[in-house]
Chain A
């Protein structure tokens, strides 16, 4: 009975441009059907047996067990008989990101579309290498910034404080460089102050 259902589901999903895949035997919880979509998404379908569909809790445990498929598959469907689909609320299935396919003797229908599970690890090794290089460069830059910060703080702590005594003094010309008629000339002082004083108008 279950094999007949699986065959029907297989032909239904193949009609939706899915290619059947072999199931990895090393998996702890195995799906009943595995497919690959045209865009490369891996699709798992779990078809519970009659024994697994004893009561409401059994369906819930089936949903929880199927969460392990999210690690390997991009989309996960649960296939339930229509009568069981009326017992369990589809919002629980959708909340877990699963899709729901209902079936009876005559029809098979996708009633809840699955979400796409994004996997953290990239399958492309070149992308992984580039990400690792970027991470190492960022960490180097962080170290450099930290070193520069500590150096700046050290320099700030040893910076001399400027006061009036430390101001550069005016360099006076050596008297030897002046001509002889400038030496000890009182007019030099008077003439040097010209133009700096405010003008006085004599009325």
Chain B
């Protein structure tokens, strides 16, 4: 016998700053911290561009997803104080 109950999950948003080399497509994407360690200088435009990627771990399947993808999920409720609040189905067996 199993029962389903609805609860709420509050998942912390992780924000990662990535450095992209727009002139060399084969150059690896590095985080800003790694780029500074490796090159010892700031990523200057126009060669480099810094993008901010916000990701969360989905409370249903524990897969990393973009925060904007949460907006398309029927379980998504809101983004609040750096967290994603969504409905979570609990299965009690």
- How many residues of A are in contact with the other chain, CB < 8 A? 20
Residue from B70, B76, B81 in contact with A89 in the complex, judged by beta carbons closer than 8 Å: B81
Interface residues of B in 55-93 (CB under 8 A from A): 67-72, 74, 76-82, 84-85
Min CB gap A113→B, angstroms: 11
Question: A107–B80 Cα gap in the complex (Å)?
Answer: 20
Contacts of A91 in B (CB 8 A): 80-81
Partner-contacting stretch, out of A10-18, A80-88, A169-177 = A80-88
Q: Is the C-beta of A141 less than 8 angstroms from some C-beta in chain B?
A: no
- Contact across chains for A82 and B72 when beta carbons are under 8 A apart: yes
Min CB gap B25→A, angstroms: 26
- Contact across chains for B77 and A86 when beta carbons are under 8 A apart: no
Question: A114–B9 Cα gap in the complex (Å)?
Answer: 22
Residue from A81, A83, A89 in contact with B80 in the complex, judged by beta carbons closer than 8 Å: A89
- Contact across chains for A85 and B79 when beta carbons are under 8 A apart: yes
Residue from B67, B74, B81, B82 in contact with A86 in the complex, judged by beta carbons closer than 8 Å: B67
- Contact across chains for B82 and A89 when beta carbons are under 8 A apart: yes
Q: Is the C-beta of A2 less than 8 angstroms from some C-beta in chain B?
A: no
Main secondary structure of the interface of A (DSSP, over half): mixed
Contacts of A100 in B (CB 8 A): 78
- Contact across chains for A90 and B80 when beta carbons are under 8 A apart: yes
Question: A100–B79 Cα gap in the complex (Å)?
Answer: 11
Q: Is the C-beta of A106 less than 8 angstroms from some C-beta in chain B?
A: yes
Question: A100–B69 Cα gap in the complex (Å)?
Answer: 19
Closest to B72 in A: A83
Contacts of B74 in A (CB 8 A): 106-107
Question: A85–B69 Cα gap in the complex (Å)?
Answer: 11
Contacts of B78 in A (CB 8 A): 85, 90, 100, 102, 111-112
Give 12 CB contacts A-B under 8 Å: A82-B72, A82-B76, A83-B72, A86-B69, A86-B79, A86-B84, A87-B79, A89-B81, A89-B82, A102-B77, A109-B77, A112-B80
Q: Which residues of A contact B (CB under 8 A)?
A: 81-91, 94, 100, 102, 104, 106-107, 109, 111-112
